[in-house]
Amino acid sequence: MEHARDLIIVVDDDITNLTVARHSLAELYDVFVAPSGEKLFTLLKKVTPSIILLDVEMPEMNGYQVLEALKEREKTAHIPVIFLTAKIDPESEIKGLSLGAADYMTKPFSRDLLIKRIDLHILFEKQRKELLKYNLSLESEVDKKAKTVIELQNAILRTVAELVECRDDVTGSHIERTQHYLRMLVDYLIEHDVYADELSSWDIDLLIMSSQLHDVGKISIKDGILLKPGKLTYEEFEEMKKHTTYGVEIIRKIERNTSESEFLQYAEILAGSHHEKWSGKGYPYGLTEEKIPLQGRLMAVIDVYDALTNARPYKKAFTHKEAIKIIKDGLGTHFDPRIGEIFLTHEKDFEINKTPRKEYKSPNKKLSMTVNAVTNIIGIHGGREQDRVERLKRLLEIFIGAMLKHDGYRDEVASWDTELFLISAQLHDVGKIAVKDNILSKADKLTNDEYEIVKTHVDFGSEVIRRIKDNIANGSLLHHAEAVAGSHHERWDGTGYPHGLKEEEIPLQGRIMAIVDVYDALTTDRPHRVRKTHKEAVEIIMYGRGTHFDPGLVDVFLEYEKEFEESGAMITPEENYNG
């Protein structure tokens, strides 16, 4: 099948010139002719040429005017135009090119040269269209991927917030409800022009998303206080109050490991100020009135409303009417009176509108930032986990690079999204968030019972990731995370945990992490022992070949173990994992 020929329109008021042009070009192109600018535009209603050859000196509408009219129309603006003219002065050529002509040729001209110019500009235009099409396709793919990653990010963040909530033994979805109430309250404040100027300067979507972390500091409160069914003692309440400052510390630690500061600024403010009171009798800083950040004053109202209307271990749920009375009585003492009045004006909506709105997502946040947030929270709970995952990431990069050079593993590893694997691998110990501090931080050797509790972090980590998958459309993005979290403590001989898988029943991701995780554990200090040398760690891994570890992967490790040693040399003493 022959390719369609390019269409050329020649515009000239001289019939002889049109005839010569048609005969000169008809062998290579489909040629239409127009004796004037007006006829050209009539012709353009029916056809779209690949290029236009345009005379300058024509009556009624000269070539410059025709070109200007072409550029003003979206349909014709990108059609290349070559001026063919007897005007040989530089000023005329400059004018034509300035108006957007693709080229300028003076009469008489060489037929072969004209054909070369025509082919060149047609090629340029085709390449421009292809580039535009590619860019639009790329932009669409980037937008699609960004949307998917943001969905995953929010699911991870929401799941971590729910884990905090589970430790607090709070029934129902406190995090989800307070997000919903916060959005409602912000909308009503804007509607009534209350604090509207300040609110309009915020990224409201980021505020709503960051509100999930307002109680993140509870992860550092001991179970005996957090889960106590009765009234807290004075000392216990003083400790409970520290969850606000603990939350600020956690978020500031995350800030040090990410450039995504706007999201974390909202989270830090909410965590540190939602228990302040208008009268100055709140905590942790005893701020008064408008010295309390507006974010904290908003959260104070909805947090109390939700706490009152839902059961807690130490109380039954209040009715909506009882909760409204308490909030009304607290205007000007506990709560910002202007915010409280708006809340009371719409209080019926808060009672009946229990279905949370669609999650609000910010399109410019990265999944890796959220994973860093998760690992930092684990680190606060049990050790310097973020430092550890940074080391593991460096070691995994070396290992993956080595496996891509080996026939036995190249094909499978090459099929992975390596960046996604490296991000996902950071969640391998996410289940530690469920293990009590006194076990994670124990300086002595664990008892058998304590070790059995630690082993539960694998199943719990898998459960965390399954929860995240339930909250996103594309659960396949968590394939690596699920495989690593659930299998990195399995052993080649089947004596590992939690499922006793053996050999290639163990996912490759877990077999890789088993070696890297053990190497890192051996070469860093722990509360119960000092680090081993690189040489000692290599000998232990060699000894585990075929029992603990995949023998083929051990061979890969041994071939590149010097790179592991050099990577370890980059670790400063301050980075030593202590958990």
Residues 551 and 491 in one domain: yes
Q: Which residue has the tokens 């040429």?
A: 49
CA angle at 381 for the pair 236 and 441, rounded to the nearest 5°: 95
Gyration radius (Cα) of the chain, Å: 34
Looking only at the bridges linking them, the beta strands covering 7-11 and 103-106 are: unpaired
**How many Å apart are CA 247 and CA 67, to the nearest integer?**
65
Token couple for 405: 């050079």
**Residue 437: what pLDDT?**
65
Is residue 357 situated within a structural domain? Answer: no
Single out the residue in 109, 137, 171 at which a domain terminates.
Answer: 109
CA distances from 323 to 408, 450, 504 (A): 65, 43, 58
Structure tokens at 189: 């404040």
CATH for 71: 3.40.50.2300
- Domain with residue 438: its CATH number is 1.10.3210.10
Claim to verify: residue 560 and residue 411 sit in the same structural domain: yes
State how many domains the chain has.
Answer: 3
Check whether residue 452 and residue 542 sit in a common domain: yes
Q: What is the pLDDT of residues 307-341, one digit of tens each?
A: 888 877 667 888 999 999 999 999 999 999 999 99
Up-side HSE of residue 311: CA atoms within 13 Å toward CB? 5
Q: Please say whether the beta carbons of 339 and 194 come within 8 A.
A: yes
Q: Residue 536 is which amino acid?
A: E
Residue 146 within a domain: no
Report if residue 362 sits inside a domain.
Answer: no
pLDDT of residue 9: 93
Distances (CA, A) of 419 to 367, 396, 425, 502: 11, 11, 10, 27
472-520 pLDDT, tens digit per residue, is: 655 566 778 888 888 999 999 999 999 999 999 999 999 999 999 899 8
Place of tokens 């009539």: 42
Q: Are residues 97 and 219 in the same domain?
A: no
Per-residue pLDDT, 370: 54
Other beta carbons less than 10 A from residue 557's beta carbon? 26
Contact in structure between 334 and 300 (CB atoms under 8 Å): yes
Residue 570 counted as domain residue: yes
- Identify whether residues 309 and 401 lie together within a single domain: no
Distance spanning both ends of the chain, measured CA to CA = 70
Whole-prediction pTM: 0.48
Same domain for 317 and 271? yes
* 3-class SS of residue 173: coil
> DSSP assignment of 251-275, as one string?
HHHHHHT-S-HHHHHHHHHHHHHTT
pLDDT tens, position by position, for the chain (579 residues)? Answer: 445 789 999 999 888 888 888 888 888 999 999 999 999 999 998 999 999 999 988 888 899 999 999 999 888 888 999 988 877 778 888 888 888 888 888 877 788 888 888 888 888 888 887 777 776 666 665 565 555 555 555 555 555 555 555 555 453 467 778 888 999 999 999 989 999 889 988 888 888 888 888 888 887 777 778 777 778 889 989 999 998 998 888 778 766 655 555 667 888 999 999 999 999 999 999 999 999 999 999 999 999 998 888 877 667 888 999 999 999 999 999 999 999 999 999 998 888 765 444 433 333 334 455 555 555 555 544 444 456 667 788 888 888 888 888 888 888 888 887 777 887 777 777 777 667 767 777 777 888 888 888 888 888 878 777 777 666 655 566 778 888 888 999 999 999 999 999 999 999 999 999 999 899 888 887 766 788 889 999 999 999 999 999 999 999 999 888 888 876 544 433 333 222
Q: What angle do CA 382, 383, 384 make, to 5 degrees?
A: 145
Q: What is the pLDDT of residue 32?
A: 93
Estimate to the nearest angstrom the gap between the alpha carbon of 548 and the chain centroid.
36
Question: Which residue matches tokens 């004053």?
Answer: 297
What pLDDT is stored for residue 570 in this prediction?
40
Look at residue 131 and tell me if it is in a domain.
no
Q: Which domain holds residue 537?
A: 383-575
Establish if 537 belongs to a structural domain.
Answer: yes
DSSP code per residue over 68-85: HHHHHSTTTTTS-EEEEE
SS (H, E, C) 190-219: HHCCCCHHHHHCCCHHHHHHHHHHCCHHHH
At 373 the pLDDT is 52
What CA–CA distance (Å, rounded) separates 558 from 564?
10
Report the pLDDT value the prediction gives residue 450, as an integer from 0 to 100.
83
Which pLDDT score is estimated for 327?
94
* 145 occurs within a structural domain: no
Provide the token pair at 265. Answer: 């600024």
Asked whether residue 558 is assigned to any structural domain, the reply reads yes
Is residue 344 within 8 A of residue 544, CB to CB? The reply is no
Note whether 277 and 303 are within 8 A (CB): no
Boundary of a domain, candidates 79, 109, 139: 109
> Are 81 and 164 in the same domain?
no
Q: Which of 75, 109, 143 is the last residue of a domain?
A: 109
Query: Are 402 and 543 in the same domain?
Result: yes
Cα dist. 196→181, 186, 193, 201, 344 in Å? 18, 9, 5, 9, 18
DSSP per-residue string spanning 490-516: --TTS--SSS---GGGS-HHHHHHHHH
Are residues 531 and 491 part of one domain?
A: yes
The span from the CA of 376 to the CA of 364, in Å, is 21
Query: Whats the size of the chain, residue-wise?
Result: 579
The tokens describing 251, both together, are: 């978020």
Residues 160 and 269 in one domain: yes
- Amino acid 439 reads I
Q: Is 415 helix (H, G, I), strand (E, B) or coil?
A: coil
Kindly state whether residues 391 and 511 are assigned to the same domain: yes
Picking from 413, 385, 408, the residue whose alpha carbon sits closest to that of residue 517 is 385
For residues 306 and 206, membership in a common domain is answered with: yes
Peptide bond into 363 cis (omega under 30): no
